[in-house]
Structures are given as structure tokens and as C-alpha cells.
Amino acid sequence: MENVEIAHVLSKCADLLEIEGEDLFRVLAYRNAARTIESLSQPVAQLLAEGKDLKKLKLPGIGKSMAEHIEEILKTGTLKALMQIRKKLPAKLDELLAIEGLGPKRTKQLYEKLGIGSIKQLEQALESGKLKSLRGFGQKSIDKMRRAIHNLVERPQRFKLLDADQLVRPLIEYLRKGGGIEQLEVAGSYRRRMETVGDLDILATCERPEPVMQRFQNYTEVQRATAAGSTRGTVVLRSGIQVDLRILPRRCYGSALHYFTGSKAHNIAVRKLGVEHGLRISEYGVFRVPRGKKAEEMGVEEGERIGGAREEDVFRAISMDWVPPELRENRGEIQAAQKHKLPELIGPANIRGDLHLHSKWTDGKSTILEMVRACKERGYQYCAITDHSKAVRVAGGLTVEDFKNQRKEIEQARAKVGGITVLTGCEVDILPDGSLDLPDDLLDELDLVVAAVHSKLDMNHSDMTNRVLKALAHPALTILAHPTGRLINEREPCAIDLEQVFRAAKEHDVAVELNAQPDRLDLNDVHLLRAREIGVKIAINTDAHSSEQLRFMNYGIDQARRGWLEKRHVINTLSLGRLEIWLKQRQNRSGQLIAESI
């Protein structure tokens, strides 16, 4: 059982307890534990197998009884406590929780006041107008709910990349342990590092396919096998994700890897180029088209084979450079690869620091010292502590006074951890009128100001755009964080004109964030391409709420690569010296602007 699945049981418990009207402390205990488990870098099952005692690891929110709950989930797949609450509540209540905008609080209201316990009953209540009698369910929120239900029913389920990683890694390890595997790779959208994946496509070569295929079907997480042959199998894991395994002859491993990595649009363009070169390119290999024949008339292995064992064979045959999988979306990579002008994509080694971090002062789970130490361990030159401002009440946002006190703790961390520069910062809330939630004199004192929208995310397009444009014009602003506010599979992006936002950010020399939280990844790849074109500086930030989450940087980098970003586009690849020069320039400018306005 994977961490995501354990976390899922815990947070389900929290939600249902809240609906049932349980004490809020107990609810939060489950919710916090879920977050901790989800962000661990090692599977809990593995920790336990290594003989570690969960109770003694001092994980945030995991005390004695929570540790026992987790062990119970690992053993039984669920919790007795969860089954007991379920008995008391309607069986289909979970459906409601999946609707965007319906958290446990509002679900509780629907259930308590109107006895609504399923999507069907909710739809009936929407039709009959019964809902309007409830507090907090105005026309706007009713319309929103209708759309959300529609999306939910229509949308095929896709898995966040982080979840896919956590599900596929142990499977691969398991397959390898069985022996006999020579080459193995997960292709498809997973290899292209898309923010979500529909299913997993594993390719392998091996001595003998049968035992490997057998082992695949026998994996403990398999819920059902939907197709099985000696070289191709499909299973659905307990988490609901589908996995295909294809075992290939060595001579076509490379061409199959290329084909099944996709994307489809990229493949079609490559195949077409092949035809122009007198070649037939398919998953079976690269073949010369005999005179007088057409590529599409050929059998799968007809003609002279000129490659297929290695992926490079495909690209070389049509005079292209090898294209990193993240770029294979037919967005210009083919032309660039022909001209040997592919971007030199950013990589983890380029990152020098993290500029958006939370601590226990607000909704973070680690102390400032722990965050700084963890950044140091990652080899960073700098990091910035950026806790929330007071308007973000749910996160325990800080007042001016709090920020001053926090400064002392930052000083202490600086004194204790050498070799890394700790910048003082904040994540200031952009209020609905576009002003910032902290006074200018405090903002001026900070090394760096991250700003973001946290409330009234449903403003209309022009109001939201104006709100953010006004904030961008504030001279103290350094980085605009999670610009669209979307949460993958949970909340749609807000309505905002990013084109105008990017232009304003460039004009005011404000960096725009690529938030690396796996459920945000905001900006997305397409936005990044545009930001790059316009020339906006990008900051890849983890927005880490615990030291464990610093590793989310890699998801930011994946997304950045999909947006064609190079080192030069990203400010947290700058050396400390250069970063400081940029921050200074901005501060001088802000001083100047203030002077001008006097």
C-alpha cells in the first residue's frame, strides 16, 4: 500500500468525522496526519519493513494513536473507525465531497438540513430550487455547483504525477526483483512528465516474457487484470490506475519507446517526416520503403530495417537531434531538433535556492530552523521564509507584530546554520481591491515579497485581472505566486488575463511563480511557453509547508521543462550574488518610485 492511499483513508476519515459533527481537534488530527504521510519521501510500508517505529520518528502530527491507525490501514487497507462512521452516514456521501466547492462543511449542511446524501439527491434539490433556502447557497454558488457536477461526471479520472510516481515506483522495483528484465521504462505521458497521467505504459525487454508477465499479474496491488497475453498485459491497481506492460523484442525496443512515449501529435509529425525521407517509422522500427511502394501499404516489418533497437535510431533516421520527452508535444520541437536548436532545458542541478517557504509560524509543519537546514542539505545557496499575512486566516496569517518577532527566529536560524543565506520574506495576500495585506514600511524591510490571491477566487475575468495588475504595480512586489489558483482535479483556474499579467510583470520586473506543489503546478506548460516568449522572469518555488516538501522542486522542474524553460529564464538558478543584485536593483527602484510619488 502506497503513502497516497494511506493518506486517502486518513483524510476520508477527517471529512466524514467533520460531517458527522465530531470534535474539530480530532478532525484536524486526521487531516494533518494525512498531509504528513502524503509528503513523506519514503513509503511508510518500507519504513516499517526496515523495523522503524513510526511513533519514534517524530513526524509532524503522528503520535502514538495515529501511528497505530496507520499500521492498521497498512494491515487491513482501512480503519475500523472509518467503517463505523460510514455506517452512520449515507453510503454515497463521498460523491458529494468530490464536487468542486463542496468541502465537508457544506456537505454537512446539505446533509443535515436537507437530508442530501448523494449526487442524485443533490441534482434533484438543485432542480426543485430547494437549495436556495440554505444559507450560503446563493444563485452563484448553485450555478457553480451545477457546472462542477457536470465536470465530475464528464471528466475522465486522471492521476496527479506525484501519485503516479508513488504508484509506479514500487511496481517497477517489484518487477525488477523478479529478475530476467534487461531494459525497462515507463513511457507515455508519465515519461513526458505531464502534470496528470491517464494510465501508465511500461515497456520492457527480457530473456523470457512469460514469467515477467506472470509476475506483473501477481503484483499484490493488482485489483483486476483486464487483458493478458504473453507479451502484453493490462491491469488495474487498487488505487484505480491502469497499467499496461508490453514486453518487446530487443530490435524494436527503441522505436516502441519512442512510439509509446508519444505524444500522439508528435508521433504523427515524426511519421510524416519519415515518409518524406522514404522511411516507414512505427513502433516496430524504422524501415526503408521499397521503390514503387507507399509507406502506408507496407506490412509491419516489411522493407529493410535501418533501426529500432534504440530510441535515437528514430531521430537519427530523419536527421533530428534526440528530443527530451517533456518537449514531445508537437509544439515546435521537431523543427528545433532538425535545426539542432533545441533548448538546453533546465535541470535540478541548476537550482540554487527556494524562494517561497512556510514555517510553523503559519500553516507550515516544520520550524524555520528545520526548513533552513533542509535547504542547506539540498545544497542551496539561499532560501526565503515567506509565511502568510493576516488576511489568510485559515493559515493563521501573521500580523506586522508577528513578522517582527519572526525576524528574531530567522536571525537565530542564520546563526545556527552557516553556508546558506536566509532571506526574510512573506507571502502577502492580494486583497480583493488589489492592495496588499501588509503596510508598505514592513514590505520594504523584507528581502523579498511573494504575493498571491487567496480569497474571492470566483471574481469575474476583468475584476480579477485588474486586481492582480494593481498588485503587480506595487513597487515592493518580487514574485507573483500561483497565478491562476487552480488545484489539479479539485479547483478550476480563476478567470484571469494572463497575457496582461505577463506583460505587466515584465514591465515592473516582477517574477512570476511556477508553483511546484504537485496539485498546483501553476503556471502550466502552455502558460510557461507564453511567459518565456514575453520574457517574464520565472521563479520555481516549492511553497513547501514542511521540510519534506522541498523535494517537490523536481515537479516544478518537470513542468518548467515542458514549458521549454532554460536556466536563464528562472531566477532561482541565479547565484546568491546575482540574485542579491537583482533584489537590490528592485529595492532601489522602489525607493525611487516612492520618492517620485512624493
Distance in angstroms (rounded) separating the CA atoms of residues 444 and 398: 16
CB of 29 vs ligand DGT, minimal distance in Å: 35
Closest separation in Å from C-beta 221 to ligand DGT:
19
Other beta carbons within 10 Å of 12: 19
Amino acid residing at 249: P
- Which residues are at the interface with ligand DGT (CB under 6 A)? 188-189, 197-199, 201, 259-260, 262-264, 267-268
**Closer of 187 and 345 to ligand DGT (Cβ):** 187
Are 541 and 513 in contact, with CB atoms under 8 Å apart?
Answer: yes
**Could you check whether the bond before residue 546 is cis, i.e. omega within 30 degrees of 0?**
no
262 binds, options ligand DGT, Ca ion, none, Cβ within 5 to 8 A by partner type:
ligand DGT
Grid coordinates in use for 520?
498546483
Q: How far is the CB of 170 from ligand DGT (least distance, A)?
A: 20
Q: Residue 487: how many CA atoms within 13 Å on its side-chain side?
A: 8
For ligand DGT, the closer of residues 200 and 540 by Cβ is 200
Binding site for Ca ion (CB under 5 A): 188, 199, 201, 244
Amino acid identity, residue 218? N
**Phi first, then psi: what are they for 30, rounded to 5°?**
-65, -40
39 or 234: CB nearest Ca ion: 234
- What is the amino acid identity at position 582? W
Residue with smaller CB distance to ligand DGT, 265 or 394: 265
Question: Which residue, 176 or 264, is less far from Ca ion as judged by CB?
Answer: 264
Q: Is 267 exposed, middle or buried (0-12, 13-18, 19+ CB in 10 A)?
A: buried
Consecutive H or E run containing 203: strand 200-206
Torsional class of 27: left (φ above 0), alpha (ψ -120 to 50), beta (otherwise): alpha
Closest distance of CB 200 from ligand DGT, Å? 8
- Complex with ligand DGT: residue 107 or 255, whichever CB lies closer: 255
Question: Minimum Å distance from CB 13 to Ca ion?
Answer: 31
Q: Between residues 264 and 456, which has the closer beta carbon with respect to Ca ion?
A: 264
Nearer to ligand DGT, 273 or 583 (CB): 273
Residue 580: count of CB within 10 angstroms of its CB = 15
What is the closest distance, in whole angstroms, from the C-beta atom of residue 154 to Ca ion in the complex?
20
- Shortest gap between Cβ of 313 and Ca ion (angstroms)? 23
3-state helix, strand, coil in the chain (%, to 5): 50, 15, 35
Residues in the chain: 598
Nearer to ligand DGT (CB atom), residue 268 or residue 394: 268
Shortest separation between residue 156's beta carbon and ligand DGT, angstroms? 8
Query: What does 489 bind: Ca ion, ligand DGT, none (CB cut-off 5 to 8 Å by kind)?
Result: none
- In the numeric block, the cell 494511506 is attached to 6
Q: How far is the CB of 254 from Ca ion (least distance, A)?
A: 19
Cell 516544478 belongs to residue: 556
Shortest distance in whole angstroms from residue 63 CB to ligand DGT = 39
- The DSSP output letter for 459 is -
Closest residue to ligand DGT, based on beta-carbon distance = 262
Give, rounded to a whole angstrom, the gap between the first and last alpha carbons of the chain. 63
Map grid coordinates 528545520 to a residue. 370
Distance between CA atoms of residues 382 and 388, nearest Å: 20
Tell me the C-alpha distance between 446 and 428, whole Å. Answer: 11
- Smallest distance, ligand DGT to C-beta of residue 328, A: 8
**Smaller CB separation from ligand DGT, 132 or 264:** 264
C-alpha cell at 531: 511567459
267 binds, among Ca ion, ligand DGT, none (CB under 5 to 8 A by kind): ligand DGT
Q: How crowded is residue 274: how many other Cβ atoms within 10 Å of its Cβ? A: 20
Residue 266 vs 527, nearer CB to ligand DGT:
266
Three-class DSSP category at 163:
helix
Q: Which residues contact 185 (CB under 8 A, 6 or more apart)?
A: 191, 202, 203, 204, 257
Count how many Cα atoms sit within 13 Å of the Cα of residue 333 in the half-sphere of its side chain.
28
